[in-house]
Structure 1
Amino acid sequence: MTARLLWLDVARGLAVLAMLAFHFGWDLGHFGHIDPEIPYTDAYKAFGHAIAASFLFIAGLSLTLAHGTVFRARAYWRRLALLVGAALLVSGGTYIAFPSSFVFFGILHCIAAASLLALPFLFLPWPAAFAAGFALVAASFFARASVFDTPWFWWTGLSTFEPMTNDYRPLAPWAGALFVGVGAAKLARLRPAAVANSPHNIATRSVAFLGRHSLALYLVHQPLFFAGFTAVAMLTAPMHNARFEEACRAQCVASGASAQKCETACDCAAREAAREDALPDAATDEGRARLERIARACVIK
């Protein structure tokens, strides 16, 4: 492995680590272990945007380093087919899990489409790639129009609203990061000193390993996270039920009801909450309202 490729793998590996941290935090909110609103704050969204931009920028660097001097058609089309297949897998999987917000044009879709569009720029002077990249970013601000509001054009990023989806990286502005990566790689070739050697230590090699397997990690990490959090929820459900029933009894007695009536009502509420799987959402306003409805129904009984 050359120093330049090691550096590229390390950069991609750091982006993978950031992605894992981002999605782990998102899952903590989704499963109610932290405030579920945290993943939707502007700061957290900015963190996710920075990670996506870094992956696209690195994809542009990689594309140029692989094909910038001699176009290796077989390797290029094989990589593109792999990206398209992975993107379709993400769309299919998220459609099953989240049919109302499935990923129809996420980061893999964007990398695949942008890699195709950027192909001519591999053989043009570096300013052309920069110009195309900045034009895509500018288009997302100044070229939006209602004609792009139909779902068939959402992939452009030029609609007047953002569609409901779990990962949305349309061509404008996100493909711009890949084009800028192409331009940066071509510019760096004119200035070889711009790419520094990376130390061959265990930390660097470990991060580079993540970078070399970034696509596989992207595909498997969320299913593994979800499986882990689901297992934790199943294992801790009895404990959560006991805590809920204890808190319910304390509030009920404090309201002036008899201990026997509170025991009967709260036992009913705990059973119904477990049956409806309502406890994992207790941290949200909707979840609390749901538990209150269950408790009121049990009191009436």
Structure 2
Amino acid sequence: MPDPVPGTDAAADAPPARAATPRFDRLDALRGVAMVWMTAFHFCFDLSYFKLILADFYRDPFWTWQRSAIVSLFLLCAGMGQAVALSQGQTADRFWRRWGQIMGCALLVSIGSWWMFPRSFISFGVLHGMALMLILVRFGFARLPTAALWALGAVAIALPFLIAHPFFDTRTTNWVGLVTHKPLTEDYVPVLPWLGPMLWGCALMRAAAVRAWFTRPLLPALKPLSAMGRWSLSYYMVHQPVMIGALMGARQLGWL
């Protein structure tokens, strides 16, 4: 199952602990846009899985490029979220609490995908990648100069196209991303090249003009998107079971 999911930053899904730290409603809304796109993508995948539409989510560029765009948008938001969290003095305790939630959900995704797709279960999908990349950004890259973040992001994106070795083709090593072929799995978001969009998001939020735009008030009509963006991880964990359950129920009732 191609699996774009929210690029969850360590400050998402809950109101800020201190009133003095403003919420970036526009960033939440941008994540909300990605969530709506992801939901439509997954619903179409579910329709294909139940053979209600004909679509090739593994080879058709119409679907594969959408998947890449959705994941990139979430990771870009996650990088921007980390830049905001660090600038607001987010504590390590809060970061690790959020990280634990992401890692726990990643394990649940692996278990659930193993139940549905035992031959191609998700061993290193977007939540697994997110958990590792958040650590790398928070403790390794976020305090580098902005120019270095842009450069390292470009290197991360380019490396898988320049270097590949069979050593990285196993389930225990393919998380790096330097594989000779895509592994048999329903979701695969390795560190390379996907660390690139997160680093670029972190660099982008440092620009004064960008930060000022994201702190401007949000149009009332876009408030629902902002609310969705604050609960990205929770939404991700329930939206597919709900849609799959609804389709299974509709089929049992003879509606499909």
TM range (shorter): 0.7 to 0.9
Find the counterpart in structure 1 of residue 229 from structure 2: 211
Distance in 2 (CA, whole Å) between partners of 1:65 and 1:170 is: 24
> Match for 1:7: what amino acid?
R
Indicate if the aligned counterparts of 2:29 and 2:226 stay in contact, CA closer than 8 A: yes
Q: Determine if contact 1:25/1:39 at 8 Å carries over to the other structure.
A: no
Distance 2:208 2:118 in 1: 45
Structure 2 alignment gaps of length 5 or more: 1-14, 16-20
Q: What TM-score, normalized by structure 1, do the two folds share? A: 0.73
For the aligned residue pairs, the C-alpha RMSD in angstroms reads 2.0
Within the alignment, does 1:98 sit opposite 2:94 as a pair? no
The Cα of 1:121 is off from its aligned counterpart by 2.1
Q: Equivalences for 1:70-89 in 2 at 5 Å?
A: 70-89=89-108
The unaligned stretches of length 5 or more in structure 1 are: 241-301
Cα-to-partner distance string for 1:238-288 (whole Å, 9 max, x where unaligned): xx8xxxxxxxxxxxxxxxxxxxxxxxxxxxxxxxxxxxxxxxxxxxxxxxx
User: Partner amino acid for 1:157?
Assistant: G
- Note the C-alpha offset of 1:64: 1.0
Give the alignment partner of residue 181 of structure 1, picking from 201, 207, 223: 201
* Counterpart in the other structure of 2:5: none
Paired letter, 1:64: A
Cα shift at 1:71: 4.9
- Amino-acid identity (%): 34
Q: Is the 8 A contact 2:32 2:225 kept in 1?
A: yes
Match among 152, 156, 160 for residue 172 of structure 2: 152
Q: Structure 2 vs 1, CA of residues 18 and 192 (structure 1 numbering), >3 Å: closer, same or farther?
A: closer
Give the equivalent residue in structure 1 for 2:6: none
Query: Given the alignment, which residue of 230, 248, 251 partners 1:230?
Result: 248
Per the TM alignment, residue 190 of structure 1 is displaced from its structure 2 partner at its CA by: 7.0
Q: Does 1:137 align with 2:133?
A: no
Compute the displacement of 1:184 (Å).
Answer: 0.9
Aligned to 1:294: none
Q: What is the total number of aligned residue pairs between the two structures? A: 236
Residue 191 of structure 1 deviates from its aligned partner by 6.1
1:171 match = 191
1:261 alignment partner in structure 2? none
Of 135, 138, 163, the match for 1:116: 135
1:47 to 36, 56, 66: 66
Say which one has the larger Rg: 1
Q: CA deviation at 1:70?
A: 3.0
Q: How does 1:262-277 map to 2 (within 5 A)?
A: none
Deviation of the 1:193 alpha carbon: 4.1
Structure-2-length-normalised TM-score = 0.86
> Following the alignment from structure 1 to structure 2, what is the Cα–Cα distance between the partners of residues 198 and 163?
44
Q: Per-residue deviation at 1:212?
A: 0.7
Task: State the distance in 2 between where 1:121 and 1:211 align.
Answer: 25
| 1:16-59 superposed Cα distances (whole Å, 9 cap, x missing partner) | 00000000011111111111436741111101110001001100
Q: Is the 8 A contact 2:32 2:228 kept in 1?
A: yes
